[in-house]
Structures are given as structure tokens and as C-alpha cells.
Structure 1
Amino acid sequence: MIQDEEYDEQALSPERIKALGFKPQKELLVNHLLPYASALDEESTKFLEQVKVNLAKSVLLREMKPSCGVWSSRLMK
């Protein structure tokens, strides 16, 4: 349990928040145990950027069905 507490403090450090550009709402403490843990932040940031860009495009093009529904559902993942 001590390792989890140390990771939690490290996970929400000001440096990490600055690198991400936002403060995560929730951190899964077991993510640091995954073999690709170092790539999770970059992967999630790219995914969020992709969703935001495509959701904006679908709204600007007034394509409510299907594209707006698809990208808003991906946002919930």
C-alpha cells in the first residue's frame, strides 16, 4: 500500500499536471503496473486531441448523425 500512496503523490505532481495540460479527474493506481505505462499519457493526450478535433469538425459541418454521435460516444470512453 505504501507504493500506491507514493505513486499517487507522484502521479498528481505539478510537473505531471503541467506536462498534461490539465489535472486528471481520476487516476487509476494500477496503471503504473502496465508494461506500457510510460506511453499512457502521450496516448491519451493524442486520443483526446483527435476526439476534440473531429467533434468540432462534425459540429461545424452540421453532421449530427452519425459523426457527432460517434465522436461524442468516443469521448465517453
Structure 2
Amino acid sequence: MTMHILIAGGSGLIGRATTHTLLSAGHQVTVAARREVEPPARARFVSMDAGSSPRCWRPARSSPSPTSRTSLGID
């Protein structure tokens, strides 16, 4: 079963390794971080600050699917 997984802190060492592992397993991955990073191929990036409201999260690269937008709280 393929899952869509949000990796908070995806720009860090563990987040990057986790992203690559999940992508290799065939999952959809959205990387969330305070600073903009170039996500691996097939991953998406959203800019976020854990201290902000989910409504402040914004897609920075490719637009998430409608399901992703709902699960991320993005209008």
C-alpha cells in the first residue's frame, strides 16, 4: 500500500535519509522545513515553521494534491 507521508524537519540529516528510504519504498513524500531545500526527485516541499498555524504553511515548489492540501491544512 502506497502512503503519502509528511516529513517534518525533512531538511536535516535524519529527515533526508528517511525521505530517500520512503521514496525507494514507493511512497509519496512531502518534505516540510523552515528553510527551503531542493527535495529529492518525486518529493514535494512545503515551507513551514512549527511555531506557526498550519494555515500559514505554503507550498513552495509543486502544488500538493487536493488530498495533501486537506491533510496539511492548506486552503
TM-score by length of 1: 0.27
**Greater CA radius of gyration, 1 or 2?**
1
TM-score by length of 2: 0.28
More strand by share: 2
